[in-house]
Amino acid sequence: MTDQNPAHRAAAIPAEEAVKLQPVAQFGNHTPLRLDSGAELASIRIAYQTYGTLNDDKSNVVLVCHALTGDQFVASRHPITGKPGWWETMVGPGRPVDTNRFYVICTNIIGGCMGTTGPMDTNPATGKPYGLKFPVITVADMVRAQAKLLDQLGIEDLFCVLGGSLGGMQVLRWAASYPERVFSAIPIATATRHSSQNIAFHEVGRQAIMADRDWHGGDYQSHATRPRKGLAVARMAAHITYLSGQALHRKFGRNLQDRDALTFGFEADFQIESYLRHQGFTFVDRFDANSYLYITRAMDYFDLDADYDGIIANAFKGTKTRFCVVSFTSDWLFPTSEARHIVQALNAVAANVSFVEIESDKGHDAFLLDEPEMFSTLAGFINSAAVHRGLAKAE
Amino acid sequence: MRAPSENLLQTSGRTDLVLIADLIEPGSRVLDVGCGDGTLLQMLTNIKDVDARGVELSQTGVNACVARGLSVVQGDADADLPAYPDQAFDYVILSQTIQATRKPKSVLDELLRIGRRVIVSFPNFGYWKVRLHLMMSGRMPMTDLLDQPWYETPNIHLCTIRDFVTMCEGMNVKIENAYARRGNRIKMRFSKPGMLANLISDEAIFILSRPD
């Protein structure tokens, strides 16, 4: 496999250059993206990464959908942080999504901030950054944009579409909107609708951003500043929801940070405080606050049940897609009951479905971590689907 | 009696599963309720090229099945069958599970709704060794198929072959065929099990359907 993607060799290239160097698909005014809100996005860009080699009949395409704060760098070095791809344990040579066999595409979602059109970009109508003038986008809009990219690449259908959390919502939307284009689907740690509790957490994050004076009603780019504190707090609050109480206790307990005694002040006495502050402050270097508002909103608006008149099974009626639904025992953000809801809907249409619940104390984030049972079950599912698809068997 | 195919026998030591597998038409849609580690489903996929699905209570069992490429969900025969649509499968199999369900009658009703044919196997409590064990020792019988003490066993609704036939008659269920087994030898096939089968077999396999 030859790697012709300059962003993969990004180490020596300045971050912003590397982001610009990645593959980007342009869509002009003649093919606007029609949004659920009724608005249209005229000219859009979709930044994406690919791994592996497309086979002759284009039957080995895997689409990876990223989560809220993820991006297209699923299995290659991140151009800004310099860290390895966010899912290199799942995607790569010899991994469950084996790039020696499959052609993997990961796009930055619409509304994102890593090269795809989002609120940071220039609004063609005003010549200024969109800010809050950017239309509200939905999960279905993200999926529509991905479908446009596939059309442009001449890829008719996907061997597999997979993703966790918001990525899993996109997977479900793909399977519902384009059943004939999805051979197999792996929604992980996700739900058919965002729960009241989850909307509540998102609202806390958004309010933290908006309360930052540097947010300027979303127009911070014109003021040459960024709501760093607000976004950091949003990230800190959200990060707690990605972990389990048990995992936090195991990792940090009540351990003190670089000190032997309490300081009787508001420094980060505890390791957990120091850890969260670090999570918050490093996050703002790679993420845009307005993107955070828009993408959390898209998750809040996600309600596949409502889209099908409250009968979620109708979303999958007649589907031939092979599904593997995955949940984690300690995930309280997208608990196993949500996965069961998906499975029941698929059973109601006698769909081909597997469902695994993985025993883990790592909470929602488990899907991004080293979970051997997730890898072995998904490798089994993907292999079996590949055999049914007529793709060569891995030994 | 139809002899199980040679190749089927070679793939598994479990002759009950081999007998069940031999009853399935190639290429059909099959749901195995309580599929364990997926041995039967694997056999059916390999040899009968069926569209095989499974439901299993134990998550360990489910994960093992999925890792070997089978379509299996975690679920409970008592709770999760109502989700399936009518007549979605050619065969629904309930192997060595009905005696562990809370409501065997409702489970059987659901199975007959979901599948055109239902294959049920269960340990026969009328087997002479079971009767003798209880009569002689005065304690709950334990045999090869009933191998756990009363306080450990998941079997809460044990029955005899005659009990099962009586229930089917009461539910207006058609017994298409029935097989009685003892040990690893297939004993006999009968259209309606009688006193003798009830006495000499430790396991029964029924093929059921709704009358047209």
Would an 8 Å CB–CB cutoff place A105 in contact with chain B?
Answer: no
Query: For residue B46, what is the DSSP state?
Result: I
Query: Closest to B73 (Cβ–Cβ): which among A343, A358, A376?
Result: A343
Kindly state the tokens that stand for A54.
Answer: 């497309």
> Same domain, yes or no, for A341 and A218?
no
Report if residue B34 sits inside a domain: yes
Report if residue A394 sits inside a domain: no
- Estimate to the nearest angstrom the gap between the alpha carbon of A113 and the chain centroid: 12
CATH of the domain at A65: 3.40.50.1820
> Same domain, yes or no, for A78 and A179?
yes
Buried-exposed string A50-60: b where 16+ CB fall within 10 A, e elsewhere = bbbebeeebbb
Q: How many CB pairs under 8 A join A and B?
A: 66
Q: What is the amino acid identity at position A3?
A: D
Per-residue pLDDT of chain A (395 residues; tens, 9 = 90+): 344 444 444 444 555 665 666 788 888 878 899 999 999 998 899 999 999 999 999 999 999 999 999 999 999 999 989 999 999 999 999 999 999 999 999 999 999 999 999 999 999 889 999 999 999 999 999 999 999 999 999 999 999 999 999 999 999 999 999 999 999 999 999 999 999 999 999 999 999 999 999 999 999 999 999 999 999 999 999 999 999 999 999 999 999 999 999 999 999 999 999 999 999 999 999 999 999 999 999 999 999 999 999 999 999 999 999 999 999 999 999 999 999 999 999 999 999 999 999 999 999 999 999 999 999 999 999 999 999 999 966 44
pLDDT score at A20: 60
Residue contact B53–A352, C-beta within 8 A? yes
CB B114 within 8 Å of CB B196: no
Report if residue A1 sits inside a domain: no
**Terminal C-alpha separation, chain B:** 25
Residue contact B67–A377, C-beta within 8 A? yes
Report if residue A203 sits inside a domain: yes
Structural domain range at position B35: 6-209
Report if residue B138 sits inside a domain: yes
Residue contact B73–A347, C-beta within 8 A? yes
| Residue of chain B with shortest Cα separation from A357 | B59
pLDDT in tens, B75-114: 989 999 999 999 999 999 999 999 999 999 999 999 999 9
Report if residue B174 sits inside a domain: yes
Best mutation site among A316, A340, A358, A377 for testing chain B: the one with the most B CBs within 10 Å?
A377
> Same domain, yes or no, for A182 and A79?
yes
CB atoms within 10 A of CB B140: 15
Residue after which a domain boundary falls, among A243, A263, A297 = A297
Contacts of A348 in chain B (CB under 8 A): 83-85
CATH of the domain at A226: 1.10.1740.110
Report if residue A303 sits inside a domain: no
> Same domain, yes or no, for A240 and A336?
no
Confidence (pTM) = 0.91
Report if residue A357 sits inside a domain: yes
> Same domain, yes or no, for A290 and A336?
no
Residue after which a domain boundary falls, among A232, A266, A297 = A297
Report if residue B182 sits inside a domain: yes
Closest chain B C-alpha to A61 CA, distance in angstroms: 20
Closest chain B C-alpha to A30 CA, distance in angstroms: 44
Closest chain A C-alpha to B15 CA, distance in angstroms: 26
Query: Closest to B66 (Cβ–Cβ): which among A324, A350, A359?
Result: A324
> Same domain, yes or no, for A65 and A133?
yes
Best mutation site among A188, A356, A375 for testing chain B: the one with the most B CBs within 10 Å?
A356
Q: Strands of A158-164's sheet, edge to edge?
A: A24-27, A44-51, A103-107, A61-65, A158-164, A182-188, A322-328, A352-358
Kindly state the tokens that stand for A15.
Answer: 């971050």
In total, how many domains does chain A have?
2
How many residues are recorded in chain A?
395
Residue contact A344–B88, C-beta within 8 A? no
- CA neighbor of A356 nearest in space, from A367, A348, A369: A367
pLDDT in tens, B33-42: 999 999 999 9
Report if residue A292 sits inside a domain: yes
> Same domain, yes or no, for A318 and A371?
yes
Residue contact B67–A324, C-beta within 8 A? no
pLDDT score at A14: 54
pLDDT in tens, B150-185: 999 999 999 999 999 999 999 999 999 998 888 666
Report if residue B195 sits inside a domain: yes
**pLDDT over threshold 80, residue B192:** no
> Same domain, yes or no, for A129 and A277?
no
CA-based angle B91:B95:B96, to the nearest 5? Answer: 160
Report if residue B1 sits inside a domain: no
CB A97 within 8 Å of CB A64: yes
pLDDT score at B18: 84
| Residue of chain A with shortest Cα separation from B81 | A347
Contacts of B59 in chain A (CB under 8 A): 356-357, 359
Kindly state the tokens that stand for A302.
Answer: 């996600």
Q: What is the rounded CA–CA span in Å between residue B114 and residue B110?
A: 6
> Same domain, yes or no, for A65 and A213?
no
Residue after which a domain boundary falls, among A265, A297, A329 = A297
**pLDDT over threshold 80, residue B189:** no
Q: What is the rounded CA–CA span in Å between residue A375 and residue A326?
A: 11
> Same domain, yes or no, for A292 and A319?
no
Report if residue A395 sits inside a domain: no
With H, G, I as helix, E, B as strand and everything else as coil, classify residue A40.
strand
| Residue A379 parent element (H or E) | helix A372-389
Report if residue B181 sits inside a domain: yes
Structural domain range at position A74: 6-194+309-389
- CA neighbor of A207 nearest in space, from A94, A297, A316: A297
Query: Closest to A356 (Cβ–Cβ): which among B66, B80, B84?
Result: B66
In total, how many domains does chain B have?
1
pLDDT score at B212: 79
User: pLDDT grade, residue B196 (50/70/90)?
Assistant: confident
> Same domain, yes or no, for A206 and A169?
no
CATH of the domain at B166: 3.40.50.150
